[in-house]
Structure 1
């Protein structure tokens, strides 16, 4: 019986999605792209899901693209090669744009597009001995999946160029020192730490957190004036919500806020789009 490309389970308000191709160190496939896209769409629509953890089976996060399949694409017209690549880029956009917090839990390897997938998440928990690499140069290829864009958000041009031209493996500890890892875990504990972090944010106000995600995503590239404008728009929208009524009321009454009953059951009207 063929195994599903993605495993799903719940830990309270946290949805755990696990890449399930351990025989190939969780190399990516179109089936995985489709399953992850569907799972994230369902999570967005499910008011009982507060946060998502993305991880991998068998001790590895993701070894990137399947080189055997990539080698076969040499014979395809360039338009078809581009169309197949967009399958990866679409899933990267889907992870980045998910309205609910997505946290990567990385053990073992996160290489090539696997590194891109991890960095597309909102936060990253990594084992100290996890291995990250922009390995494309070693097989005569160039980065994809947004690897250079994500890395450029926290390293200098010189460091970015070194990582991409050498393809050297980066330990979780170094990526943490560079600023890309939120929590550094002992080997085997990345998922547990990611679940704890996810449980913390899952209890938060759904709409406010979606707006915060949008603000954080644009802050690096926006001018101060553009970011002030976006902050102003989101603040005045947030002030009229039941979430802010509950949050401010709880603060003034010196009690814990309870946002769970306020989670929306209908699709949003794009109020976090820019």
Structure 2
């Protein structure tokens, strides 16, 4: 598909989605929403795709919403404002519920809804010098796109409050130490680390990975008993799948499992 603000590269076993709006620090646009939705649907339909990588053009991941566009929302009625915010929420849901792992590649930093998008991904790979800001409050706004949920789940309460209430940027190294960022790299090398991770994922069992992602997502809202039941059901299904037959056979034969062949057969 042709999209001036979203370039999708299909590399066979992974998709790379690039927000191409560097002139505005990759602020989110309707065109990018459309492109990322398209990539996530394609990944969901194609077991050959082991991961979706989301990145920004140039030296910044995403500055969030375009304030020049948000100004127009001030003249809308409340229903229209809610509908506009739901376009972001729908994108965040699509990332969270995509059956394939989604990897955010952060150079420079992420702010506002750009941080919401990064933290909605399953893993965040960041350059060491990147800075992350829940910048909404500096414009008199409140976080959206699931950001308060992500901060509350991923950070100690005091740090989540500091980020959300002050809008001050926090360095990648500190957030990595707190567990919010998966991996740190030298500046300019985050995409290479993401490619290596995507290669690892593409050689894994697609069905089991999808079930694991779903379990991790559902666990955020589930009771312990409900999660035990969900894990039981997922394990029972996995035991009867070709992936388990291959994995167990490979383990007993002391050879690497060939999950990639099963992806191609599906």
TM range (shorter): over 0.9
Distance 1:137 1:231, change over 3 A: same
Q: CA deviation at 1:3?
A: 5.9
For residues 26 and 63 of structure 2, the distance between their equivalents in structure 1, rounded to whole angstroms, comes to 6
Correspondence for 1:63:
63
Q: Does 2:192 correspond to 1:192?
A: yes
Correspondence for 2:15:
15
Correspondence for 2:78:
78
Alignment of 1:87-236 (within 5 A): 87-236=87-236
For residues 159 and 209 of structure 1, the distance between their equivalents in structure 2, rounded to whole angstroms, comes to 31
The size of the alignment, in residue pairs, is: 265
Query: Normalised by the size of structure 2, how large is the TM-score?
Result: 0.95
- Tell me if structure 2 keeps the 8 A contact 1:45–1:265: no
Q: Point out where structure 1 has 5 or more consecutive residues left out of the alignment.
A: 267-274
Query: Normalised by the size of structure 1, how large is the TM-score?
Result: 0.93
- Tell me if structure 2 keeps the 8 A contact 1:246–1:259: yes
1:152-209: per-residue Cα shift (whole Å, max 9, x none)?
1121322211111110001111110111111111111111111111111111111110
Q: CA deviation at 1:45?
A: 1.4
Q: What is the RMSD computed on CA atoms of the aligned residues?
A: 1.5
For residues 72 and 144 of structure 1, the distance between their equivalents in structure 2, rounded to whole angstroms, comes to 17
Tell me the SS of whatever aligns to 1:237: helix
Deviating 4+ runs (over 3 angstroms): none
Tell me the SS of whatever aligns to 2:198: helix
- Tell me if structure 2 keeps the 8 A contact 1:130–1:171: yes
**Higher mean C-alpha deviation, range 109-118 or range 40-49:** 40-49
Q: CA deviation at 1:5?
A: 1.5
